[in-house]
Amino acid sequence: MDDLLWIGPALISGIAASRLGLPPMVGYLLCGFILNLSGVYDADRLTMIGNLGVTLLLFTIGLKLNLHSLLRPVIWAGTTLHTTIVVSVLGTLLYWISLAGIQAFSGIDIGKAMLIGFALSFSSTVFAVKTLEDKGEYQSKYGQIAIGVLIMQDIFAVVFLAASTGKLPSVWALGLLVLIPMRYVLMQLLNRAGHSGELQILYGLALAFGGYALFDAVDVKGDLGALIVGAMLASHPLAGNVSKRLLGFKDLLLVGFFLSIGMSGSLTVSAMLIALFLAVLVVFKTVLFFVLFTRFKMRARTATLSSLTLANYSEFGLIVGAIAVSNAWLTEDWLVTIALALTMTIIIAAPINMRAVRFYSRLRPTARKFETESVLPEDELPEFGDARVAVIGMGQLGTGVYDQLLPDYGNILIGIDSDPEVITKHKDAGRNVILADATNDEMWERTIDTPMEVGILALKIHQENLGIVKRVNERNPTASMFAVASHEDEVAELIDAGAEAAWNMYSEAGIGLASEVITYYRNKDTGNS
């Protein structure tokens, strides 16, 4: 039981960070520093827990891999250019500082300087995903750009992890090619697991750790195995469900990782000063993201908000730093320094991102000067034409709403979705749909000059529906918004935010089901008489 004593301090620190509007991981890192200073807990006990968390993290990243989205130049080319420039500039800067004779940077040769620059080139996946979910903007255009960049960065990190062993793979590594035809079998096994929660969890854990063990057995970095096995299932309809089932396990195990980082070395004044210097350098990362995004023809708003989402250092940087320390490429002091820099940037980035739209509004006149003459079609503001009624979110629920309204509203009805594949499917079916990001304030500003009267929110995530209602209420208060929710308190939130009406879809489904039963028995009784 002594091995679990970290849970209490971690819980308290996580709650404290959340109450301050910061990601819980900031609290975990600080808790690790405090535990280290107290000397009451051995960091080695958390190492295995942290390693398990990293493996699950990589597996779940694999489950979300969309190779088509990664093939967009703004993602793969933009991320590659950004990483190359950041590593070169920061690495060279740190090396020059070491040559200047500053004691804290002594012993930093060009190789070590570039390695530190590589660790600092990543942005936090955990922070970005959590922030986007809290704001209800995970499916926004800028959110998807940021997530795409993060996945590319994660791939770079995994390649580094795979190469960090310093030894060639075994000749038996060629046997890993059998995974290609085995993909069909893995898909079928997931089908057999079905929607059962415990079976999906067990299947996910078996594949993540099994993939790790398989690759490790042939002298290939096990983390790469977890990512690849996850990617093999990414196209399966249940892949998202498996990822969600594993979320709690992954987050809990990663707590151990963050705690162990905080406990990995001594907290010194020198480390804090260097970390503060590195935290200032994150401004360079952020501005560079903005410049590259606009060069790839993104609109200023999308480029700004994407850049702010990525304006921090990353837990993957800590993983790279931990590998470097374990291989004696860097001293433990640098791992502590990187952890402190990560903590500082997240503390700064959290409140900025919660007010990112206001931040952009102030910068808009200047930011728009960097826009290219033409923008990517996927980032253009939509044209609504004569549409008066819009169904936002063309999943199963939205499609049902659209088809029900079509006979009455015909040409003045339009469907809106942010997924190009969904739009293509509906256009092939003859529906009037457009590709648009409903979380974009500027889109709703444009509806003031259109006949748009009604918006029907049919998105699955409550925070997304709530965020859109607030935006429409601010940008075009004449438009009436209707929405669905999963719980009664969410219904109240939507109405308070400005929705004309909102319904609990489960209650409504229950009413509909009861009505069908009543009709059935009435018809049956009539037939018997």
If pLDDT is split at 50, 70 and 90, which confidence band does 1 have?
A: very low
If pLDDT is split at 50, 70 and 90, which confidence band does 528 have?
A: low
3-state secondary structure 299-330: CHHHHHHHHHHCCCCCHHHHHHHHHHHHCCCC
Q: Using CA atoms, how far apart are residues 391 and 423, in angstroms rounded to an integer?
A: 13
Q: What is the pLDDT of residues 267-277, one digit of tens each?
A: 778 888 999 99
Q: What is the pLDDT of residues 343-378, one digit of tens each?
A: 888 888 888 888 888 888 888 899 999 999 888 877
- Most confident segment among 138-152, 162-176, 278-292, 479-493: 278-292
Q: Over range 457-468, report the average pLDDT.
A: 85
Write the DSSP assignment of 141-184 as a string of letters. Answer: HHHHHHHHHHHHHHHHHHHHHHHTT-SPPPGGGGGGGGHHHHHH
Q: Which of 457, 458, 462 is nearest to 488 (CA)?
A: 462
Tokens of residue 271, six digits = 């480390």
- Tokens 């997240």 belong to 346
Q: Counting runs of H as helices and runs of E as strands, what totals does the chain give?
A: 24, 6
Which helix (DSSP H) or strand (DSSP E) does residue 480 occupy? Answer: strand 480-485
**CATH class of segment(s) 381-525:** alpha beta
Q: Using CA atoms, how far apart are residues 166 and 169, in angstroms rounded to an integer?
A: 10
DSSP E strands in 7-165: the ranges are none
| Contact in structure between 251 and 11 (CB atoms under 8 Å) | no
Which helix (DSSP H) or strand (DSSP E) does residue 414 occupy? Answer: strand 413-417
pLDDT above 70 (res 3): no
Q: Determine whether 459 is exposed, middle or buried from the number of CB atoms within 10 Å of its CB (0-12, 13-18, 19+).
A: buried
Q: What is the pLDDT of residues 310-352, one digit of tens each?
A: 999 987 788 788 888 888 888 888 888 888 888 888 888 888 8
Geometric angle at alpha carbon 291, from 289 and 296, rounded to 5°: 95
Q: Which distant-in-sequence residues (6+ apart) come within 8 Å of 164 by Cβ?
A: 221, 323, 324, 327
Q: What is the pLDDT of residues 14-70, one digit of tens each?
A: 888 888 877 787 788 788 878 777 766 666 677 778 888 888 888 887 887 777 777
The pTM (predicted TM-score) of the whole model is 0.79
The alpha carbon dihedral of 245, 249, 250, 251 has a sign of positive
- Third-level CATH fold of 9-370: Na+/H+ antiporter like fold (1.20.1530)
| Contact in structure between 212 and 229 (CB atoms under 8 Å) | no
pLDDT above 70 (res 108): yes
Domain limits of the chain? 9-370, 381-525
Q: Which of 195, 404, 473, 469 is nearest to 485 (CA)?
A: 469
Kindly report which listed range (27-31, 36-40, 483-487, 493-497) carries the lowest average pLDDT score: 36-40
- Give the N- to C-terminal CA distance of the chain in Å, as an integer: 71
pLDDT above 80 (res 485): yes
Q: Which of 191, 312, 338, 262 is nearest to 36 (CA)?
A: 262
If pLDDT is split at 50, 70 and 90, which confidence band does 126 have?
A: confident
The strand pairing partners of 485, in sequence order, are 504
The strand pairing partners of 435, in sequence order, are 417
Percent above pLDDT 90 for the chain? 25
Q: Over range 428-455, report the average pLDDT.
A: 86
